[in-house]
Amino acid sequence: MSSSTSSSSSYSDDSDSFESYYSDMSTTSTPNKRRSAGVANQTLENVTPHMQDDVQGMLCPDAPIEAFVQHVWGVHPDEISAIFGNSWTLPPEHLDKYRATVLEKKLYEPFQLIAVDLVNQARKLLRKDASCPVKFWHKEGEYVIKSKVSTLRKPDMLSFLTLATLIKISWFFARTFFEFKDTDHKHRKRVHKPTVSSTSALPLVPEGVPSEDPGPSMTTSDSHQVVHRSSLVKSMRGKSRRGSHSTTRLRRDSTPATSAEGVFATPLPSITTPPQPITPQKRKNEGSDSSANKRIHLTPKVTKEQIQLALYALESMDASTRHYTTGFFIDRYKVSLWYFDRACIIRSEPFDFTQDPWKLVLALYALSVCDDKHAGYDPHLFPPPSGIPTEASSGDSIAEDVVGSKLIFPPMDGLSDSIEFLVRRIIFEYRGLIGRGTMVYEVLRLGRTEAEALKISWPLTIRDLEATIIRTLRERIPGWKDHLPEVSFSTTLTAEELGLPRVQLLKQVPPTDFRLEDRHMHAMAGELYKKLWEVDSVAEFEQVFLDCVECHYHAFNEGKVLHRDLSENNLMFKRKEGEVKGILNDWDMASFLDVTNKVRNTTAKHRTGTIPFMACDLLVDDPPAHLYRHDLESFFYILVWAAILYDFKNKAILRVPKPLANWDAGEMSRVRQAKGSFITYKLETDLIMNLIQPAFHGIRDKWILPLRMLFKNALRSIDDEADQNPSYDIETCGGHITFLTFMKALNREPRTLA
């Protein structure tokens, strides 16, 4: 299924590595920008612009706080009701320091102390162990955490189980992350620093001095929100302790506070919105339950300030087989809770913790009681005996690393026993946030002696499963099954079966134009194969290449499947009885064909491929349907790429020279121009041909040059004939590019296998 090593390449100009444009990044539009998953040098500067593209349109806003903590962190409705019904006091000393702070990084310590105090209050109320089991960790945003791919991040604050901090500060152990901002502070001048009362419902300031951030005042619409909030809590548990109209208030001092200069600090006046006159039409609309009368809001964009939170989520998801992760976004007093998984981002309704301290208490308390599953960790991952205990009183533990742990899947296909895999090493790991999230491991299955590859991904539910496609092909073209991956195990678990919080949360958010493109988890295991550059000689390379070209044709012609994502990583091999056999791998982007031998409409217009190997036709903003000849063009580019970069002696890939790096330039238009020029203009052709290594000169002369002429003539025929000839066959460029013409250019006769 996968290789024993992972492909990597570096450019002389530090440009991004090649990447795939996955058709299931979106079902409503064709991606035409790079994704964060394909950025090789994942510095903050390189990843941030791609992350901004990744997350736009994926945010579902304003989930109720109660629903968020219940479905994400597993807080019981009775506990939610108890916290809602209690009167809470923010610790005065720490709140005063928080309010007086000017620098953002100086907010971390007072907030940390506020958090611990509130968690202890809540645990005492709910008769939990008094000591807070969660550590709110920070180093004023100056501590660098290095990820597995050497990405450097300096998070504002992380929460850990206290025991985990004794072992290692890492993204793997971080339960959640915090991003602090002070956006209002950036747009005003601070006159002086008043000392304020910490028990007022709003921040207090000297008269005439602009406020820090008083937050929204109670308006007529806000009062309806209070009633709704109480009703929601009651619907989760029953009648609230304080009744349906209770609101949580801070205790107030009886004496006014004074500033450092001795000036009395008075509360800001409440700004209310006068009630609007109710017209008969308005009353009619408000009384209607018709969905047509519900206001549909536009899905909000993730702001540049919030992108940092998504970058933390990227590190958290990449550090393990995590199903989801969470974060806090704190803009001085305004707090929102964030949920990230492979399909979407869900944000809670924002709140001002000085006005609604119970919401902050609820969120922080949730962190202190959530178990591993509700922290987003994969429930199928089981650590070795040396794992880190999650609670002093329990036998549960989390793995310090995926490697050395076990992945255990429930019984399936009539089997009575679970399927267990010991993870020996990571072969490939996805470096994006939203999307397939593919992870490939070398594993050893319990009861077997041969290592296998285990691939876990999150494909769109509307797509055919990779395991299904492979099994279908092995049945339809049995003579070529030696050149197809062998699947020994596969399973699929839906979001409902996994208990992902998004299932319930999305039912309780206000209506917006957000549309979920649902994903499920697909796990598949099979034989472990080697990469194309790990063959021993050019002769073996030729054999593997031919095997894959012919297998690809028969999969298309008789198997009725088009691969659509050919790259150097998908042409693999195994050794059988002393001979190499090419394996055409990674069918997760493949599509079944309809009765007319065309890709089904659901995926026909969704661009797929890996940039250096994608056909020129597809490198446009509005690409045509993916055709068989586009895959043949990909084979051609793989051949050129290999002749320049493969070092069979050392089983390695050489550094990409700058002319070839243009095949993976930042803009698709540049890539299209570079490849088109290579095919059509002799000067550009010679520039690339001169890079080919001496060991590949034979392949250059007998394969690459004839194929280049084949594609040049095909492109010329489009210009010369397509517009004038109504019967011109665009699918084959007028008959120029077919399996037979491709094999003729290679000077090889197609094999006929029984």
Q: Tell me the pLDDT tens digit for each residue of 651-689.
A: 999 999 989 999 987 678 899 999 999 999 999 999 999
Structure tokens at 51: 């992350």
Split at pLDDT 50, 70, 90, the class of 514 is confident
Structure tokens at 581: 């056999």
Higher pLDDT, 197 or 598: 598
Q: What is the per-residue pLDDT for 185?
A: 59
Split at pLDDT 50, 70, 90, the class of 753 is low
Gap between the Cα atoms of 335 and 66, Å rounded: 14
| Averaged pLDDT, 421-446 | 90
Query: How many residues comprise the chain?
Result: 754
- Tell me: domain 531-754, CATH 1.10.510.10, correct? yes
Gap between the Cα atoms of 470 and 524, Å rounded: 11
User: Quick check: 127 pLDDT over 60?
Assistant: yes
Q: What is the mean pLDDT of the chain?
A: 79
Q: What is the per-residue pLDDT for 399?
A: 58
Determine contact, residues 342/519, Cβ cutoff 8 Å. Answer: yes
Q: What is the per-residue pLDDT for 601?
A: 61
User: Quick check: 12 pLDDT over 50?
Assistant: no
Gap between the Cα atoms of 463 and 465, Å rounded: 6
Q: What percent of the chain has pLDDT over 90?
A: 53
Q: What is the per-residue pLDDT for 260?
A: 35
Q: What is the per-residue pLDDT for 35?
A: 57
Gap between the Cα atoms of 572 and 583, Å rounded: 5
Q: What is the per-residue pLDDT for 507?
A: 93
Residue 55 CA neighbour count, 13 Å, CB half: 31
Q: Specify the DSSP class assigned to residue 749.
A: P
Q: What is the per-residue pLDDT for 596?
A: 87
In sequence order, the 6+-apart residues with CB closer than 8 A to the CB of 145 are 152, 153, 154, 155, 169, 170, 171, 315
In sequence order, the 6+-apart residues with CB closer than 8 A to the CB of 118 are 88, 90, 91, 357, 360, 361, 364, 365
| Averaged pLDDT, 22-29 | 35
Q: What is the per-residue pLDDT for 125?
A: 93
Where is average pLDDT lowest: 135-139, 257-261, 364-368, 451-455? 257-261
Split at pLDDT 50, 70, 90, the class of 53 is confident
Split at pLDDT 50, 70, 90, the class of 193 is very low
Where is average pLDDT lowest: 148-152, 322-326, 365-369, 634-638? 148-152
Gap between the Cα atoms of 747 and 77, Å rounded: 72
Q: Which residues pair with 153 in a beta bridge?
A: 145
HEC profile for 133-172? CEEEECCCCCCCEECCCCCEECCCEEEEEHHHHCCCCCCC
| Averaged pLDDT, 455-477 | 95
Split at pLDDT 50, 70, 90, the class of 147 is low
| Averaged pLDDT, 43-55 | 68
| Averaged pLDDT, 532-542 | 97
Domain boundaries, the chain: 531-754
Structure tokens at 176: 């959640």
Q: Which residues pair with 456 in a beta bridge?
A: 439, 523
Nearest to 398 by CA among 172, 241, 243, 171: 172
User: Quick check: 361 pLDDT over 80?
Assistant: yes
| Averaged pLDDT, 12-16 | 31
User: Quick check: 289 pLDDT over 70?
Assistant: no
Q: What percent of the chain has pLDDT over 70?
A: 72
Higher pLDDT, 232 or 602: 602
User: Quick check: 320 pLDDT over 90?
Assistant: no
User: Quick check: 57 pLDDT over 70?
Assistant: yes
Where is average pLDDT lowest: 381-390, 470-479, 507-516, 703-712? 381-390
Please tell me which of 228-237, 244-253, 295-304, 601-610 the model is most confident about, judged by mean pLDDT. 295-304
Higher pLDDT, 285 or 513: 513
**Is 99 strand, coil or helix?**
helix
Q: What is the per-residue pLDDT for 305?
A: 85
